[in-house]
Every structure is written in structure tokens, then in C-alpha cells.
Structure 1
Amino acid sequence: MADMVGKALHVLSLLGEHPEGVGLSELARRAGYPVSTTHRLLSSLQDHGFARSDPGSKRYALGLRLFELGQRVSHARGFAGVALPVLRALTEQTGEPTLMAVLDGHHQVYVHSVQGPRQIQIRGEPGKRGPLHCTSMGKCLVAFAPHREELVATLELVPLAPRTITSREEFAREIESVRVRGYAVADEEHEVGIRAVGVPVLGPDGCAIAALSTAAPAYRAGVAELEAFVPALRAAARELGAVLPR
């Protein structure tokens, strides 16, 4: 039973990578399961509203039940009603996008992204997972996690860009620096041409509830320009830290 639940969750995760839908054969190939097993899992997921199929294209996609559950989580964590006004006000001050993420295992999950007025924007799609070791928010979430030592020791330091930190010793020094400074910078470490500065949203215990960042194209903002946004980011983080549920 547990094995089938795990397989069903794996299929759900793969469906999430194909918002426009995916065919049965392709999904079975990606999952590594027989077509018959994949079809049986999809049928069960459809019965409960977690997946849907298009009779015309014969493609499968996520169902609205997941959206409903996601909205409940967002409401319970206070993200929708409380966070968005704070993020919008921050974007008005910086003129750049504001992103918000939370820790989920060895990844971060983007929960909000407020776009700025510029034509070229850095986006963080809500619900999408991202790395911790090479992003400003990810570094903050690690640095102020209750189990940061474990994260520093075990995170996979995948080289996603030429400037990604891949040395365990260097990463440990970076996280300690983030703890001392209270903010993190990602200087084209996740993707070439993108810089960001982030701060943790701390609870009363000093651990991160979430993280905020301001991100911009590298041609538009240097590290010094982004660091100038740190006071505004900290003010927003303090406001959120006082009102977000733990």
C-alpha cells in the first residue's frame, strides 16, 4: 500500500512539471512504471480529483483538488492575506520584483512573487521548487534553519552556473557570513545574468519562517545597488515575522 501511495505521489509530481498536460506513454516513461500501472494510478487520482484528462488530446494534467488544498495551506500559513500587501509595498519602494519562499526539505518553495514596473522581470512561480545553495532566499533559509548544520553538511551543491558555490567548506563559510550579516546575496550563482539579495523572516525563536528577496537582471543592478535594499527588506521581514503564523 505504501509503495502504491509513493508511486501515485511520484506521478503527481511529474504531472506538476507538465502544466499543459502529458500523454500516458510519456508519463509512464518519465515515471519508470509500466503503462498499465501508470494508467491505474492516474485513474485513481482522477477519481479523487487530483488529476484530470482531456478526452480530445488524451493528455493528463493536475486536477483542481490540488489547487484547493494549496489554497488551504496558503490561508493557514497566512501567506495570501497577510504577505501580499507587504510584498507589494516593498516592490513599490524598490521598483524591482519581490519574492517569498519557504523551506521544504532540501529545497525552497516559492509562495509569492510580486512583479515590478520594469519590462524585464525576474519571476518566481508560486508552487515551484528551487535550490537552496545558490539563491539569496535559499541561503537565508539554510542559515536560519534550526537544523542548519545538517543542511550545510548534506545539501547537494549542484553547479547551476559558473559562480555557483560547490565547495563544502566555502558553502559553510558563506552560510556563517549570512548569519552574521543577516542577509544573503546571490551574484549570478543560480543563473547567469541574475542577481538577488534576500533576508530571513524570523520567528520569536530566531528561526526562519520564510525568506524575502529582491531580484534583478545583472545589467540593471550591481551587488551594491541590491544591498541598498536590505533596510527595506528587513523592515518588511519584521512586519511579516510579527503576523505570520508559526
Structure 2
Amino acid sequence: MARNIQSLERAAAVLRLLAGGERRLGLSDIASTLDLAKGTAHGLLRTLQHEGFVEQDPASGRYQLGAELLRLGNSYLDVHELRARALPWTDDLARSSGEAVYLGVLHKQGALIVHHVFRPDDSRQVLEIGAMHPLYSTALGKTLAAYDPVAHADLADLAYERLTPATVTDPAGLEEALDLVRARGWAADVEETWEGVAGIAAPVHDRRRLPVGAVGITGAVERVCAAGEPRPELVAAVRDCARAVARDLGAGRF
């Protein structure tokens, strides 16, 4: 049986203590409460402070939880709220478009699928929740890269793989494509990731007007496109879905 890592257990205990006690605690309080040597407690606090999980008040020297924990907590809540708010609208989009619907968020330099509605027919399909879609070639990924500054910055570290003959693999060409996404308000993937498959996606914003994800459809290119371009009625349906989810998240009209 694997053993727990003592230093991580102690760090977790420090965070729980700061979360459950007074707003700020001194080094001696933390060390005595957790039965730690002052040197050990100070080393843990210094490491947690370096990572942004703990902050030290310069005047009193006392410690409190840091902003990085708040960011991580908000990220967790945002994803779950996003999925909850999107459920009825993505179901409607699958019914109206006849295609599979995906909800994606930025994660580890890719678009992480957090919700997937099957295409409403009798075909055999595989649930893709937890799958990662490339930022540079999929409609979901390009939407995130166009609207999320963090996702856009991640493009600089990616290795562009030519997945199909239509994949854009040069940064300059991708930047042009992202400019078009921002100008139109939606992204397309016409056989750029999988041959014979096309997708359409649009951004979802929250009450802070920040991009928190993307919603889109994927299906056979002959159904999603006409004359090589995404069908306007499907583009409109995807954008309407994204706006509806954004409204439920508290976003105003923009």
C-alpha cells in the first residue's frame, strides 16, 4: 500500500487551519496547533507563500490564505456552474442541429471536453467527456485561443502536427484564422482535425464578460457544411446556444 507524503499532508493541514480559524495566524500559533517545529512550519509556509497559496501580512507577519487558492477554487466552481447552466441549452442544440454537441474549457494547452451530448440518432457513439481537443485545429480550440488570452499564449508552446491535409500548422496562418474568429464571433473546423468531419463553435462568457468556455457541434462534413462552408443555420444555432448559456451565467448582451 502506497504511503502518504508527509510534507504534503502537513501543507494541507496548514491550509485547512488557515481556512478554518482566524483570518490571520502567526507562525507560533500554526506550529503549536499542528504540533510542528517552528522551523518545519516556517519552511512549509515559505513554500506555500512562494506558490501563492499563502500570503504574509507585512505589518504583523501573520499568515492568511493566498489569491492562488481563490483562483483555483473559482476555476473549479466555474466549470461546474458552466456545465450545469449549459445542460438544457446543449440538449436543445443537439435536437435542433441533429449533431453531437460539445462543451469545452481550457486545460493543459488544449480544449477539455466537460460535457458531450450525443447526436440524436441511433448510431453508435462514444462519450468523450474528459477528452482533449487541439487548440489549433478544432472549432472549440480555436474559439478558446481567439478569446482567452491564456489559451492564446499557450499556442507559442505547442508543436503543430499536421493532422489532415487541411490542418493549419504555421503560427502566422493560425493568427489570421483567429482574427477571423474574433471578427465573426465563431470558429469552424472543416476537416482540419479529422477527415470527413466538420465543427462549429462559439465562445461562452460569464457575468464578468470573461470567456469561460466554448460550445460547438461536430458532425459529418456533408451535413455541417454546404459548398465547403459551414451552414448558416447551424452557425446561428451554435451562437444562440452560446449566448443562452452566457445569459444564464449572468452575462449581459454584448
CA displacement at 1:80 relative to structure 2: 4.6
For the 8 Å contact 1:97–1:122, the answer to whether it is kept is no
Please tell me the root mean square deviation across aligned C-alpha atoms, in Å: 2.8
Opposite residue 92 of structure 2, the aligned amino acid is: A
Identity %: 26
Output aligned runs, 1:32-43, within 5 Å.
none
- Which sections of structure 2, spanning at least 5 residues, go unmatched? 9-75
Question: Which residue does 2:95 correspond to in 1?
Answer: 92
Checking the alignment, whether the CA contact within 8 Å between 1:77 and 1:245 is kept in structure 2 is no
Question: Which residue pairs with 1:236 in the alignment?
Answer: 241
Q: 1:83, CA displacement in angstroms?
A: 1.6
**1:51-96 CA distance string (max 9 Å, x none):** xxxxxxxxxxxxxxxxxxxxxx579622453221110011121111
The equivalent of 1:195 in structure 2 is 198
Question: 1:1-246 maps to which residues of 2 (within 5 A)?
Answer: 73=76, 77-120=80-123, 125-147=128-150, 149-222=152-225, 223-244=228-249
Q: Deviations over 1:138-165 (max 9, x none)?
A: 0000100023552343332111111111
Quote how far apart the aligned CAs of 1:242 are: 2.6
Shift of 1:168: 1.1
- CA separation of 1:172/1:152 partners in 2, compared to 1, >3 Å: closer, same or farther? farther
Normalization by structure 1: what TM-score?
0.63
TM-score when normalising by structure 2: 0.62
Alpha-carbon distance in 2 for matches of 1:76, 1:206: 15
- Report how many residues are paired: 178
Instruction: Please list every run of 5 or more consecutive structure 1 residues that lacks an aligned counterpart in the other structure.
Output: 6-72
Bigger Rg over Cα: 2
Retained in 1: the 8 A contact 2:185–2:202? yes
Note the C-alpha offset of 1:201.
Answer: 0.5
**Separation in 1 of the partners of 2:247 and 2:203?**
13
